[in-house]
Amino acid sequence: MTTVIADGWTMTRRNMTHVVRAPEELILYFSLPIMFVLVFGYVFGSGMQVAGGGSYREFLLPGVFVMTMLYGLGATATGVALDLSRGVVDRFRSMPMARSALMTGRSAADLLRALLEMSTLLVCGLLVGWQWRQGVGKALLAVGLLLLLRIAITWVGIYLALLVRNPDTVGVIVFPAAFPLSAISNVFVSPELMPPVIGTISEWNPLSATVAAIRELFGNPGLGGDSWPAEHAMLLAVLWPVLLIATFAPLAVRRYQRLSR
């Protein structure tokens, strides 16, 4: 058990050292959400309305937080696929280390990274006029929900990388998939204002659950209508990520074990 933790920590540190030694990637993942804040907040934002009223930028920021967690999928999957394609995973697997460390180390490092991204984004948010209105306790709870979502996304990413293996292919899959996923949700537009079918899909989108829940916790506008998912956002914001983890973590572990077939 101690080796599981020690090796997991060694691998976490390895992945964090990557961030320090190759910060370009981090800049890429930072610039995207900041760009969305600027484009949607200031360019499209003037023509946007929030169901139930309120500032659009304040409505938008929780959505951008969630989107940043979603785009972490690219970083996770690309990182794992690079390891697989460069044979360094073979070296790890031929060493007397805990087999789980590759995945737990990745998961923990991505969580630390997400924390870093979150703190930067919170500051950016404050700069453009967003704020939390329900006290620090609820704001921290909101950050907790975001990180829970990030863990779920990490496991989806690990599984995806083990499935596809080629880092270039991973990039080609992730980004075209991530954008519609964030667009058909309550990230940019209130689902009540969408055509009914798309609105319903948007409301059931796992991302929407977290967005709605943290809007509530931060006290930001756009709490959504009286549909079931909108009313039970807090529950779904916990349930969806837990369900994703329960599905994709075992799938990833099985895929990883199948490397020896």
Residue ranges that bind another protein, judged by CB under 8 A: 3, 7, 10, 14, 17-18, 21-22, 86-88, 90-97, 101, 259-261
The residue among 59, 21, 32 whose CA lies nearest residue 214 is: 59
Torsion of CA 21, 119, 212, 205, to 10 degrees: 0
For another protein, the closer of residues 49 and 85 by Cβ is 85
For another protein, the closer of residues 37 and 81 by Cβ is 81
Smallest separation (angstroms) from another protein to the CB of 92: 7
Q: Which residues contact 223 (CB under 8 A, 6 or more apart)?
A: 52, 212, 215, 216, 230
For another protein, the closer of residues 39 and 259 by Cβ is 259
For another protein, the closer of residues 20 and 123 by Cβ is 20
Smallest separation (angstroms) from another protein to the CB of 72: 18
Cα–Cα distances in angstroms (integers) from residue 86 to residues 21, 51, 82, 200, 225, in the given order: 18, 49, 6, 43, 49
Smallest separation (angstroms) from another protein to the CB of 182: 28
Smallest separation (angstroms) from another protein to the CB of 194: 42
For another protein, the closer of residues 197 and 261 by Cβ is 261
Smallest separation (angstroms) from another protein to the CB of 93: 6
* Burial (CB count within 10 angstroms: exposed 0-12, middle 13-18, buried 19+), residue 148: buried
- Say if CB 167 and CB 78 are below 8 A apart: yes
- Say if CB 105 and CB 17 are below 8 A apart: no
Euclidean distance between CA atoms 137 and 251, whole angstroms: 35
For another protein, the closer of residues 97 and 194 by Cβ is 97
Smallest separation (angstroms) from another protein to the CB of 89: 8
Cα–Cα distances in angstroms (integers) from residue 143 to residues 32, 140, 163, 192, in the given order: 19, 5, 30, 26
